Amino acid sequence: MRTPEILVVGAGPAGLSAADAAGSLGAEVVLVDRSEAAGGQLVKQTHMFFGSKNQFAATRGIDIATKLTAQVVENSRVEMLLGTTVLGYYPDGVILAERDGRLLKFEPQRLIVATGAAEKSLPFPGNDLPGVYGAGAVQTLMNVHGVQPGDRVVMLGAGNIGLIVSYQLLQAGVPVAAIVEAAPTIGGYLVHASKIRRAGVPIYTSHTVKKAYGAEALEGVVIEAVDEHCQPVPGTEKDLAADVLCVAVGLTPLTELLFQAGCDMRYISQLGGHVAWRNDDLETSVPGIYVAGDVSGVEEASSAMVEGNLAGVCAAASLGYGGGRNGNESEPLRLAYLEQLRELRCGPMGAKTRDGICSLTS
């Protein structure tokens, strides 16, 4: 049995930030992640990030992963265990993990869950054909393994992920036939949309996929317009030849551990699905269990990093580090991170998150 003061699950932007923030205040931290490389989804992000300098704005995601990982490696209070998959949270507060075929048991004083999110899927005829991918898989093939996913792609979803993966496909020399979005407007940042549009890729808003077809594998996709009630408009079908259909229709928090731990879970559609109730300091209804990043509500990597910092500082302060709760060292940090979150979310793009958090905590 290992008994670190703080166990952080997930070494993406939130978990790396949480481990570093807690360790920097002096807490003894173990950070685990099932992958062999730290950084979570950041390692697939070749584009420059938004936000402000505090969240590494204008730096490419992959370079942010390197920077955050280096901070954690240099932090003598943090031990990072990669290739370590958390299997479950047991009623006595023990967390079981697997590493190299061996079981590891943890009984930490504080737990920070930063497990991120999983991709949503969409039901339509032909969605089980080879060639129908989640956007994350396409990014993994291209940007992690250097494998071209196909020769012509239809992208489903004009949120930031759909737009960015389309851009990355174009950069890799893979033509994108179209971006198809059921909503009447583009959900992602319009600067991303314009960047892809001026490369000649049409964006069909108020359109959805009717079916994917092919004998052995995907050969094409039929799309059609939808009206304001999301009902198909007859006679608007377009047949697009493609060997890849990339599904980028949103993410949902990966909350299994929080359910197992008995956290008060609520369904909040604006946050992507079930999330744990938490206070401003990101502590859930189970004392000592914190959340940070997409698992607390699907958002951007910039806010995931700030949430990680906030949860790390609050968990460490609750153990007496940084002068304890309201301490000289911990409190200014806590307030600064709360202010950064407020700034990131105060604009029109933050409305969904603000509404979601409001419903969650009211």
Partner 1 sequence: MLSHTGIPTAEDIEAVLPPEELRASRRLAVFECFQDIPCDPCAAACPYGAIASFDDINDRPRVEAEKCIGCAKCVSQCPGLAIFVVEEHYSAQEALVVIPYEYLPVPKRNDIVAGLDREGVEVCRARVVKVKNAVAQDRTRLLWLAVPSALAHVVRNIRVEA
Give the binding site for partner 1 (CB under 8 A).
47-53, 57-60, 170-171, 173, 184-186, 189-201, 203, 205-206, 300, 302, 343-350
From CA 177, how far away is CA 313, in angstroms rounded? 46
Length of the chain: 362
Least Å from the CB of residue 226 to partner 1: 13
Least Å from the CB of residue 160 to partner 1: 10
Least Å from the CB of residue 146 to partner 1: 14
From CA 275, how far away is CA 266, in angstroms rounded? 6
Least Å from the CB of residue 34 to partner 1: 29
Name which of 59 and 109 has its Cβ closer to partner 1.
59
**Local structure of residue 296 (DSSP, 8 states):** G
Least Å from the CB of residue 81 to partner 1: 32
Name which of 111 and 158 has its Cβ closer to partner 1.
158
Instruction: Tell me phi and psi for residue 60, to 5 degrees.
Output: -75, 145
* Per-residue buried b or exposed e for 290-327, using 16+ beta carbons within 10 Å of the residue's own CB: bbbbbbbbbbbbbbbbbbbbbbbbbbbbbbebbeeeeb
Least Å from the CB of residue 107 to partner 1: 39
H or E segment to which residue 95 belongs: strand 95-99
Q: Are 188 and 195 in contact (CB under 8 A)?
A: no
Least Å from the CB of residue 182 to partner 1: 13
3-state class (DSSP) for residue 120: coil
From CA 183, how far away is CA 146, in angstroms rounded? 32
| Residue whose token pair is 């879970």 | 265
Name which of 77 and 192 has its Cβ closer to partner 1.
192
DSSP per-residue string spanning 194-240: HHHHTTT--EEETEEEEEEE-SSS--EEEEEEB-TTS-B-TT--EEE
Name which of 50 and 124 has its Cβ closer to partner 1.
50
Name which of 146 and 347 has its Cβ closer to partner 1.
347
From CA 44, how far away is CA 164, in angstroms rounded? 11
Q: Greatest CA span in the chain, whole angstroms? A: 68
Name which of 56 and 106 has its Cβ closer to partner 1.
56
Name which of 89 and 204 has its Cβ closer to partner 1.
204
Name which of 139 and 255 has its Cβ closer to partner 1.
139
Least Å from the CB of residue 79 to partner 1: 32
